[in-house]
Structure 1
Amino acid sequence: MKPQYVYRWVNDHGLIRAAKQVKLRRGDLFARLNGGPEGIENPYALIEEMRGAGGLHRSAPLWVTFDHDLCREILRDNNFGVGMPIVLRLPDKARRMLERWPVPPNPVDPPSMLMIDQPEHTRMRKPVAAAFTPRAVGRLRDRVTTVTDELLTALPDNGPADLVTQFAAQVPIAIISEMLGFPDADRDMFLRWGDDISPLLDLGISWRVHSRAMESSERVHRYLLDHIDRLRAEPGDDILSSLVTKGELSTDELCASATLLMGAGFETTVNLIGKGIIWLLNHPDQLDRLRAEPDLWPNAVEEILRIDPPVQTTARTARTDIEIAGHRLRKGATVALSLAGANRDPAVFPEPARFDITRDNAKNHLGFSSGIHVCLGAGLARMEATYALRALMETFPELRLTTEPTRRPLFTLHGYSHLPAHTGPRVRSHQPAG
Structure 2
Amino acid sequence: MRERLHWLSLHGVIRTVANWSAGRGDPQARFVADPSVRVNPVPFYEELRQQGPLIRARISYLTVDHAVAFELLRSDDFRVVGMGRSLPAPLRWLEQRTRADLLHPLLPPSLLAVEPPEHTRYRKTVSSVFTSRAVAALRDQVDGTAAALLADLSGAEGVVDIVGRYCAQLPVSIISEILGVPAADRARILEFGELAAPSLDFGLDWRQYQTVQRGLAGFNYWLTAHLDKLRANPGDDLMSQLIDASEGGVRLDQTELKAIAGLVLAAGFETTVNLLGNGIRMLINAPDQRAVLAADPSLWPNAVEEILRLDSPVQLTARVARTDTVVAGTTVRRGEMVVIYLAGANRDPAVFPDPHTFDVRRAGAGKHLSFSGGRHFCLGAALARTEGEAGLRRFFTHFPDAQLAGEGTRRDTRVLRGWAQLPVTLGSDARVGR
- Distance in 2 separating the partners of 1:144 and 1:304: 19
Q: Residue 292 of structure 1: CA displacement?
A: 0.2
User: Where does 1:158-177 land on structure 2 (aligned, <5 Å)?
Assistant: 159=157, 160-177=159-176
The alignment partner of 1:226 has SS state of helix
Matching of residue 382 in structure 1 with residue 380 in structure 2: no
1:349 to 342, 349, 352: 352
Structure 1 stretch displaced more, 368-377 or 21-30: 21-30
CA spacing shift, 1:236–1:315, aligned 2, 3 Å: same
Q: Is the 8 A contact 2:6 2:94 kept in 1?
A: no
TM-score, normalised to structure 1, is 0.94
- Distance in 2 separating the partners of 1:396 and 1:238: 33
- Distance in 1 separating the partners of 2:73 and 2:372: 7
Q: What corresponds to 2:186 in structure 1?
A: 187
Q: Residue 228 of structure 1: CA displacement?
A: 1.5
Q: Is the 8 A contact 2:109 2:256 kept in 1?
A: yes
The alignment partner of 1:316 has SS state of strand
Structure 1 stretch displaced more, 295-304 or 153-162: 153-162
Q: Residue 8 of structure 1: CA displacement?
A: 3.7
The alignment partner of 1:335 has SS state of strand
Instruction: Give the counterpart letter for 1:88 in structure 2.
Output: P
The alignment partner of 2:81 has SS state of coil
User: Where does 1:252-331 land on structure 2 (aligned, <5 Å)?
Assistant: 252-331=255-334
- Distance in 1 separating the partners of 2:96 and 2:170: 43
Instruction: Give the counterpart letter for 1:223 in structure 2.
Output: W
Deviations 1:41-68 (A, max 9, x none): 2100111112111110111101100000
Q: What corresponds to 1:135 in structure 2?
A: 133
CA spacing shift, 1:352–1:97, aligned 2, 3 Å: closer
- Distance in 2 separating the partners of 1:87 and 1:96: 11
Q: Is the 8 A contact 2:149 2:166 kept in 1?
A: yes
2:376 to 355, 373, 377: 373
Q: Is the 8 A contact 2:129 2:241 kept in 1?
A: no
2:427 to 415, 420, 424: 424
Matching of residue 198 in structure 1 with residue 201 in structure 2: no
The alignment partner of 1:176 has SS state of helix
CA spacing shift, 1:258–1:287, aligned 2, 3 Å: same
Q: Residue 194 of structure 1: CA displacement?
A: 0.8
Q: What corresponds to 1:123 in structure 2?
A: 121
Deviations 1:123-162 (A, max 9, x none): 0111112343321111111221221111101114262311
Q: Residue 86 of structure 1: CA displacement?
A: 3.4
Matching of residue 332 in structure 1 with residue 332 in structure 2: no
1:360 to 348, 359, 363: 363
Instruction: Give the counterpart letter for 2:67 in structure 1.
Output: D
Q: Residue 32 of structure 1: CA displacement?
A: 2.6
Q: Residue 375 of structure 1: CA displacement?
A: 0.5
Instruction: Give the counterpart letter for 1:320 in structure 2.
Output: T
- Distance in 2 separating the partners of 1:176 and 1:199: 21
Q: Residue 33 of structure 1: CA displacement?
A: 2.8
> Structure 1 regions of 5+ residues with no counterpart?
none
Instruction: Give the counterpart letter for 1:405 in structure 2.
Output: G
Instruction: Give the counterpart letter for 1:351 in structure 2.
Output: D
The alignment partner of 2:89 has SS state of coil
> Structure 2 regions of 5+ residues with no counterpart?
none
How many percent of aligned residue pairs carry the same amino acid?
44
Equivalent pairs counted in the alignment come to 427
Q: Is the 8 A contact 1:44 1:341 kept in 2?
A: yes
Q: Residue 397 of structure 1: CA displacement?
A: 1.1
CA spacing shift, 1:382–1:289, aligned 2, 3 Å: same
Q: Residue 222 of structure 1: CA displacement?
A: 1.6
The alignment partner of 2:177 has SS state of helix
Q: What corresponds to 2:44 in structure 1?
A: 46
What's the RMSD between the two structures over aligned residues? Answer: 1.8
Q: What corresponds to 1:110 in structure 2?
A: 108
CA spacing shift, 1:22–1:380, aligned 2, 3 Å: same
TM-score, normalised to structure 2, is 0.94
Q: Is the 8 A contact 2:15 2:32 kept in 1?
A: no
Q: Is the 8 A contact 1:404 1:420 kept in 2?
A: yes
Q: What corresponds to 1:62 in structure 2?
A: 60
Q: What corresponds to 2:155 in structure 1?
A: 157
CA spacing shift, 1:201–1:92, aligned 2, 3 Å: closer
- Distance in 1 separating the partners of 2:323 and 2:383: 35
Q: What corresponds to 2:218 in structure 1?
A: 219
Q: Residue 92 of structure 1: CA displacement?
A: 11
Deviations 1:288-314 (A, max 9, x none): 000000000000000001111110111
Deviations 1:7-43 (A, max 9, x none): 4433332222111111233343433333322222210
CA spacing shift, 1:96–1:46, aligned 2, 3 Å: closer
CA spacing shift, 1:343–1:86, aligned 2, 3 Å: closer
CA spacing shift, 1:148–1:40, aligned 2, 3 Å: same
Q: What corresponds to 1:209 in structure 2?
A: 208
Instruction: Give the counterpart letter for 1:136 in structure 2.
Output: A
CA spacing shift, 1:394–1:96, aligned 2, 3 Å: closer
Matching of residue 87 in structure 1 with residue 87 in structure 2: yes
Q: Is the 8 A contact 2:26 2:58 kept in 1?
A: no
Instruction: Give the counterpart letter for 1:319 in structure 2.
Output: R
- Distance in 2 separating the partners of 1:95 and 1:396: 50
